[in-house]
Amino acid sequence: MSCIVLQLGQCGNQVGQRLFDTLIEDNLTHPNQTKLTVTNRSSIDDYIRDSLDKFFIQHENKLTARALVIDTELKVIEQLMDENAQSKRHWHY
């Protein structure tokens, strides 16, 4: 089941951005799995795929956050989008 994150105002947008950063960090930068059995590795891969599918849409090997960004100032949203596009993040809005 997918989730859509509703980001309202400056605080909501900052918290939402950090949430997506944390989800990526937790799911894509995991420790060395060489000691895991094939069964455990498969379970972890399933968990990562399910977790990312809940909060992101994958298209052409890019992750797009499932988010609705709302702010009364268009400038704030434009800045958020520009920062996200220029960063080295593994995801975007």
- The whole-number pLDDT of residue 59 equals 85
Three-class secondary structure of residue 76 per DSSP? helix
CA distance to 26, 33, 48, 55, per residue, from 30 (Å): 7, 8, 10, 18
**Model pTM score:** 0.77
| Distance between CA atoms of residues 74 and 67, nearest Å | 16
Query: Which residue range is the domain that position 11 belongs to?
Result: 5-92
Residue 66: name the closest of 10, 9, 23 by CA. Answer: 23
Specify whether the CB–CB gap between 31 and 25 falls below 8 A: no
Q: Which residue has the higher pLDDT, 84 or 10?
A: 10
Number of structural domains found in the chain: 1
Residues 12-50 pLDDT 10s: 998 999 999 999 888 876 655 555 555 666 777 888 888
